[in-house]
Amino acid sequence: MFGAYIMKKCICCNINKTNLEFGIKSSEKDGLNYYCRKCMEIKRKNYENKNPNSVKKINKNYYQKHKQNILKNKKEYRTNNPEKCKEWVLKERYNISLKDYNKLLKNQNNKCKICLKKNKLVVDHDHKTGKVRGLLCNHCNTGIGFLKENLNILKNSIKYLQQ
């Protein structure tokens, strides 16, 4: 679903739309809601107009009242489900799966692609294209970032260090 567009018909407006125009519903086979985002917004507004003391005000008050518990529950979820959280972050930020990440890790022998040390590795990507280049330790990844991913600056840095 992440690489290609899927066409789906909204059961409310009866119009074929791309998967980007639908909300997520994990219980469905295609992972998408029945209604497009526009129809869902209309349904929500209609509900709020009919029930003025409902969801929106309650949700704001609820969040303020229970903020600490909500944050605690999020932290517990992350602690208890590290693989799911990592999978989600990889998919959201770099459009790769945990399987892809583990394959990169194996291909690099669990070592940073630059310094070849077995430190904790992060995903390095090209900020212009979004393409994943490999896994680097935090020091090497930060270094490339500070040097603006610019080859001329990197070459000048090498010359400087060789003096």
Phi/psi for 134 (5° steps) reads: 160, -165
Phi, psi of 60 (to 5 degrees): -60, -50
Distance CA(73)–CA(158), nearest Å, equals: 48
pLDDT higher than threshold 90 for residue 128 = no
CB distance 94 to 125 below 8 Å: yes
User: Mean pLDDT over all residues of the chain?
Assistant: 87
pLDDT one-digit tens code per residue, 68-94 = 888 888 889 889 999 998 998 888 888
Q: Are 123 and 96 in contact (CB under 8 A)?
A: yes
Q: Name the helix (H) or strand (E) containing 16.
A: strand 16-18
**Dist CA 26 CA 60 (whole Å):** 25
Q: What percent of the chain has pLDDT over 90?
A: 47
Residue ranges of domains in the chain: 7-49, 96-162
Q: DSSP for 113-163? A: TTT---S-EEEEE-TTT--EEEEEEHHHHHHHHHTTT-HHHHHHHHHHHH-
Choice between 116 and 26, residue whose per-residue pLDDT is larger: 116
**Rounded CA gap, 125 and 26, in Å?**
29
> Domain 96-162 has what CATH class?
alpha beta
On the question of pLDDT at 52 being above 50, the answer is yes
